[in-house]
Structures are given as structure tokens and as C-alpha cells.
């Protein structure tokens, strides 16, 4: 590369649910951008994180886990991952190496990566907690089925192997001027991250189906006020879920607000007044119009599906 030239491009992270894609992107970017919880499948839309180091700018696209696509919501999430793959200059497959590859894993990964024509890297994640035989099983399968892939063993939580992974990916980016200002770490609006932090807290504080039935959307931010006023609507699928979210005497929603506000204040580095409103939106995950209203891009193939 000529002296003074720069590299820039999109790095799309893909993998099965709970492989650690979000944790890895946060580790690589150095910021908490994608929500992370012990529960599987918490990333529902793609999240963009930007890292500019030296002469390289990496635009990471964190994507939902590779789902089978049985219903409208899972098809929408699968489409988000495939759309991000189509934009990739480099693809980073993230696998959970604490267990060997299953038939379902290899079928979905093979299906999605079959048409990839850009450099492919594989992060064998969670190696700090993985049995040797499981790591070796993934290594063997990838070497056999994805021979063009460059494999790295990493721990997204501990950061082990991440500097080497970054260096390898950076070297594959196309020569290009930087696509974003050097000090930017994300392209999504602040409102998106605020809503995601509230949703992350719901995953942490509620059980069973509640977190998967909830979506958060910022309706108002009054920038001129101190503390900063933020109004967030929390949509649930059924009226009964509203009562669970609020809790007896409002105790649950107060605890949610306090925990989410602390995260948002850390993210924004300023005081926040967080105003949470819980609203039923009947079966929103199965309704094309509701999904569109909430900002999801439903794949065109489902246009004829009943709303």
C-alpha cells in the first residue's frame, strides 16, 4: 500500500445465536454499543460500530443470530443479517467454541456463507472456557468446509487474541479514504442506543417471555434541559405483560428505570431524567405494519403475508 494511503471498509459479524458477536464487537471497538445479556438472541437489528486505528477504519456490522426464519420476526432478523453480509468487505464468522458444531450450526452457516466472495475470517470465541476437543472440532470443520477462511482463537470477554484478529482483518480492507470522521464510534443515532440500553436492562431484570415480547423506542429527548429528559415507550404484545413490567405498586418499573438510567448516563456522560411508558401493541412481532412502525425492515418476500 502506498505511503500515506488508508484502508476502510465494512466488517460484517455473523454467527449462530449466543456465539458472542455483540461482546466481540464491543471488545474490538472498545465501547458498549451492542447489548449483551446471558440470554440468547438479544440482537434484533444490525448495530454499527466504528474503529479508526492508524491508517485503517473498520466499520463493524453486528447482526442478529442466524435463525431458521419460521415466523415474520425471525425472517426479518435473518434478512437483516443477510443484508449486512451483502455490504461486507470482510466477513467475520463468530462461533461458540465451548461446544462442537452441531448439524444445525453447520447447515445454517454453510447456507449463509455459501455465496460469500470477500475475505472470510473466523473467530473461535470463548476459548478461555472451551474444552480442547470442541475447539479442535470447529477447527477441523472450518478447515474442511471453509478452506479459504483465516481462523483465530479469541476470548471476546477477556480480549485474548483480539489485537491479532484486528490486525488480520485490517490488512484485508480495500484501499479507501475513511468513510466516517476519525473520532466517531457509531453511525446509529443516539436515540437507538438509548432505547437498546433500556431493552438490555429488561433482558437482565425480567424472566421468561417478557424480554422477547418487548421493544423500546425513544419518543422525545429534550437536549436543552439538565437533567436531559428522555421519554421511552416500551411496547408489549399483550395487556397482561404491561402489569408484569410495571409490577406491584410500580416497583418493577422503578427498578428498571433506575438501572437503565445509570447505563444511559454513563453512555451520554450527563444527568438524565428517564420517563418510561409501557404500551400494549397487539402481537407486534407478527404484524408487518407494527414491525415497520418500530423501524424493522421486513423482507419483501413477506409482503403478501397477513398483517
DSSP single-letter state for residue 300 = G
Q: What is the pLDDT of residues 66-109, one digit of tens each?
A: 877 778 998 999 889 989 999 999 999 999 999 999 998 999 89
Which residues are registered as beta bridge partners of 230? 221, 274
Evaluate whether 27 touches 5 at the Cβ level (below 8 Å).
no
Superfamily assignment of 7-170 in CATH? P-loop containing nucleotide triphosphate hydrolases (3.40.50.300)
Rounded to two decimals, the pTM is 0.91
Is a pLDDT exceeding 80 seen at residue 186? yes
10 Å CB burial of residue 100 (0-12, 13-18, 19+) is middle
Return d(Cα 297, Cα 75) in angstroms, integer.
10
Q: If DSSP states are collapsed to H, E and C, what string results for 250-281?
A: HHHHHHHHHHHHHHHHHHHCCCEEEEEEEEEC
Q: What is the pLDDT of residues 189-246, one digit of tens each?
A: 999 999 999 999 999 999 888 999 999 999 999 998 999 999 999 999 999 999 999 9
Candidate CATH numbers 3.30.300.20, 3.40.50.280, 3.30.420.310, 3.30.1490.20; the one for domain 190-302: 3.30.300.20
Of the listed ranges 68-72, 120-124, 126-130, the one predicted with least confidence: 68-72
pLDDT at 51: 97
The helix (run of H) or strand (run of E) holding residue 193 is: helix 190-205
pLDDT at 3: 65
pLDDT at 274: 98
Average pLDDT, the chain: 92
Return d(Cα 30, Cα 183) in angstroms, integer.
13
Per-residue DSSP letters for 102-144? PHHHHHHHHHHHTT--S-EEEEEE-TTS--HHHHHHHHHHHHH
Q: Where are the domains of the chain?
A: 7-170, 190-302
- C-alpha cell read off for 21: 458477536
pLDDT confidence band for 27 (50 / 70 / 90): very high
Amino acid at each position: 500500500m502506498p505511503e500515506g494511503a488508508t484502508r476502510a471498509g465494512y466488517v460484517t459479524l455473523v454467527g449462530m445465536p449466543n456465539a458472542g458477536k455483540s461482546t466481540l464487537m464491543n471488545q474490538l471497538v472498545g465501547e458498549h454499543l451492542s447489548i449483551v445479556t446471558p440470554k440468547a438472541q438479544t440482537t434484533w437489528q444490525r448495530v454499527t460500530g466504528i474503529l479508526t486505528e492508524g491508517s485503517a477504519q473498520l466499520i463493524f456490522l453486528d447482526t442478529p443470530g442466524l435463525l431458521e426464519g419460521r415466523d415474520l420476526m425471525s425472517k426479518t432478523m435473518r434478512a437483516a443479517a443477510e443484508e449486512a453480509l451483502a455490504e461486507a468487505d470482510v466477513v467475520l464468522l463468530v462461533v461458540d467454541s465451548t461446544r462442537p458444531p452441531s448439524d444445525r450450526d453447520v447447515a445454517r452457516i454453510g447456507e449463509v456463507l455459501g455465496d460469500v466472495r470477500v475475505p472470510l475470517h473466523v473467530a473461535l470465541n470463548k476459548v478461555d472456557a472451551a474444552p480442547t476437543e470442541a475447539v479442535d472440532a470447529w477447527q477441523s470443520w472450518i478447515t474442511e468446509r471453509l478452506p479459504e477462511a483465516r481462523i483465530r482463537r479469541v476470548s471476546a470477554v477477556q480480549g485474548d487474541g483480539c489485537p491479532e484478529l484486528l490486525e488480520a482483518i485490517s490488512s484485508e480492507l480495500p484501499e479507501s479514504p475513511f468513510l466516517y470522521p476519525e473520532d466517531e464510534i457509531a453511525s446509529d443515532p443516539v436515540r437507538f442506543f438509548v432505547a437498546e440500553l433500556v431493552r438490555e436492562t429488561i433482558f437482565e431484570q425480567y424472566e421468561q417471555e417478557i424480554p422477547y415480547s418487548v421493544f423500546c423506542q425513544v419518543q422525545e429527548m429534550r437536549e436543552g434541559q439538565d437533567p436531559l429528559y428522555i421519554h421511552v415507550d416500551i411496547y408489549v404484545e399483550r395487556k397482561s405483560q404491561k402489569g408484569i413490567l410495571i409490577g406491584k405498586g410500580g416497583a418493577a418499573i422503578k427498578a428498571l428505570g433506575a438501572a437503565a438510567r445509570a447505563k444511559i448516563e454513563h453512555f451520554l456522560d450527563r444527568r438524565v431524567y428517564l420517563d418510561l411508558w409501557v404500551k400494549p401493541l397487539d402481537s407486534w412481532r407478527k404484524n408487518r405494519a407494527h414491525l415497520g412502525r418500530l423501524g424493522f425492515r421486513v423482507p419483501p418476500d413477506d409482503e403478501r403475508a397477513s398483517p
